[in-house]
Structure 1
Amino acid sequence: MCLIPGYIIYLLTFLIVSEVTQPDDGAAMSLTAALRGFFIVLLSVSVVQSQNGWGVTYTSTQICAVKGSSVEIHCTYTYPPRINNEIIEVQKRLWFTKLQQDVPVDLKTDPNYDARVEYHFFQNNSTLRITDLRESDSAQYKFRFETNSRSGRYTGTPGVTLLVTDAPIRLSVSVTLSGEIVEGSSVTLTCSSDANPAASYTWYKQNDQKPLSKDSQLIFSSIQSSDAGEYYCIAVNDLGTKRTGHNIIIVNCE
């Protein structure tokens, strides 16, 4: 879950353990993740899922990120130096989200990620970087490496789940009138946004902290002179909050 109080993103990580893909025996798994350019809180968890030298290590298994930003996912992988006196060498490393005929589809060959994916390798560490994030990038990402040994192919599961969403940053307010605003007339203020996940709305009157409506609409069915003043709407979703400017209502006396 991502929270953006005051437009700061807090990255919360969760441990999700499901099935384990192993070569012949098992290995230890790990993965670290970071969201560049934002304040991140990582709850690191060490996950040991296999033995005998094979593995990918994850310390985060879920990331929330905002559309248009960039994200980096890191992992460390291990393998035995020899199998049956054969020196083991890594020949292929890749990240993927889907299979094609049971074969992992390298993100670098996926047209949905064209020019937005970078791999960085250093010793037994791998980093996946995705730029210009889209909501369609929400998926489960896994690292796989293959060696010169027939039994030396390993996929780290369950991988890391990336959720790309929008904060409620584009708000608009419309006013519906039954005519000139005079005492007894009907006035409706409507707050809307294109937030994803969907936002909830609350209406307030300036200098009054008591909510007037916990709906997208603030309805005055028979407005009175005491209702004259400045009103604003606050939209909230899992990614943060946004407040509209003030909407001034002037009630004319007949």
Structure 2
Amino acid sequence: MRGAAMSLTAAASGLVVFLLSVSVVQGQRGWGVTYSSTEICAVKGSTVEINCSYTYPSRWRGGVNTVENTFWFIKQKDVETVYVTTDSEYAGRVETLCGNNTCTLRIRNLTESDSAQYWFRFKTNQDAYSGLPVTLSITDLQVKVSRPQSDLNLRCLSSCPPGHTSYIWFKNGQKVKEDTSPDADFSYDSADSYSCALKGYEDSPTPSVYAPKLPSVSVSPSAEIEEGSSVNLTCSSDANPAANYTWYKKDEDSPKASGQNFTITDFRAEHSGNLFL
């Protein structure tokens, strides 16, 4: 219905962000709609509130002018009007909080397909009026990691328009940096872990990225190996992003294999010895 190297996907849910910024007003002859923001970027799985207030003349076309209905809608392909509160794709996730010339649209459990332009419209007994659209962008937050020399370079990837958000960085669970740039440099230490979040979503950072822990190797079959048989070696290590593996034989410089699994299909006496990663 709607259009919505190493990385990790953020897990964000249940967070409500109240957006306060310079008001944007559209109106004439007493009619108007004021938004707290016309550009909103929110994290997938979270909750967002789009706030507006509206004005209208007390009398219009020779009669008393009173509000009868309020609506939030999007447009599909600039033609079809989709009313958010009644559309099946929003069922159970949307509510409006309206009264005293204000109306807030709340959307929970955001998905990437919720990215759209949202219009507010109100109807009186004499006329109707629509505000300018509010652009809502839903991002699936990710962390990209690179380590040039002794420094660790991290990038907090999002689809938010540039300049519409700040990035918060955490080191070992503690906030260490805030910047409008998505890039951050840290001194490398294999014991440290890092995560990022969007400003306003500090309680829902990405999963931490960290260097590989001490690896372990399993051998199959685990019993005594006969010549001519196959042997499977599997290495595993706790790492985020996932580690890369290279197999070596002790006292030899050239690698025997790469990847988490190493299979010797025709085991012979010369294969005996210590392998390491």
Tell me the TM-score normalized by structure 1: 0.55
The percent of aligned pairs where both chains have the same amino acid is 41
Tell me the CA shift for residue 155 of structure 1.
Answer: 0.8
Look up the match of 1:77.
54
Q: 2:77 and 2:37 mapped to 1: Cα distance? A: 26
Residue equivalent to 1:60: 37
Report what 2:251 is aligned to.
253
Where does 1:31-110 land on structure 2 (aligned, <5 Å)? 37=15, 42=20, 44-98=21-75, 104-110=81-87
Greater radius of gyration (CA):
2
Between the aligned partners of 2:27 and 2:42, the Cα distance in structure 1 is 30
Q: Residue type matched to 1:165 in 2?
A: T
Cα gap change, 1:231/1:246 in structure 2, threshold over 3 Å: closer, same or farther? farther
Structure 1: gaps spanning 5 or more residues: 1-6, 10-34, 169-198, 215-228
Residues 248 and 166 (structure 1), Cα distance of their counterparts in 2 relative to 1, 3 Å cut: same
Check 1:121–1:130 CA distance in 2 against 1; reply closer, same or farther (3 A cut). same
What SS is found at the alignment partner of 2:92?
A: coil
Q: Which residue of 1 aligns with 2:147?
A: 203
| Residues 17, 47 of structure 2: 8 Å contact kept | no
CA–CA distance in 1 between the matches of 2:77 and 2:151? Answer: 56
Distance 2:75 2:18 in 1: 28
The code of the aligned residue for 1:163 comes to S
Cα separation, 2, equivalents of 1:77 and 1:139: 21
Unmatched tracts of structure 2, length 5 or more: 1-9, 156-188, 200-204, 216-246, 253-277
Superposed counterparts of 1:1-254, under 5 Å: 37=15, 42=20, 44-98=21-75, 104-149=81-126, 152-157=127-132, 159-168=133-142, 200-203=144-147, 209-210=150-151, 242-248=208-214, 252-254=250-252
Flag the 1:80–1:114 CA change in 2: closer, same or farther, 3 A. same
Cα gap change, 1:101/1:60 in structure 2, threshold over 3 Å: closer, same or farther? closer
Count of equivalent residues? 171
The equivalent residue for 2:255 is none
Contact 1:231/1:246 (<8 A) preserved: no
What SS does the corresponding residue of 2:68 show, helix, strand or coil? Answer: strand
Residues 39-92 of structure 1: per-residue CA shift (max 9 Å, x gap): 7774x2233433211011123111111111111111001110111330111111
Q: What do the CA deviations read for 1:4-50 (whole angstroms, capped 9, x no partner)?
A: xxx9x9xxxxxxxxxxxxxxxxxxxxxxxxx98367774x2233433
**1:100-149 deviation per Cα after TM superposition (whole angstroms, max 9, x unaligned):** 99563211221111111101112100010101111110111111111111
- SS at the partner of 1:109? coil
Measure the CA separation in 1 of the matches of 2:17 and 2:91: 28
- SS across alignment from 2:28: coil
Query: Shift in Å at residue 247 of structure 1?
Result: 4.4
Supply the RMSD in Å over aligned alpha carbons.
3.9
Partners of 1:37 and 1:134 in 2: CA distance: 14
Q: Distance in 1 between matches of 2:78 and 2:196?
A: 42
Letter in 1 for 2:130: T
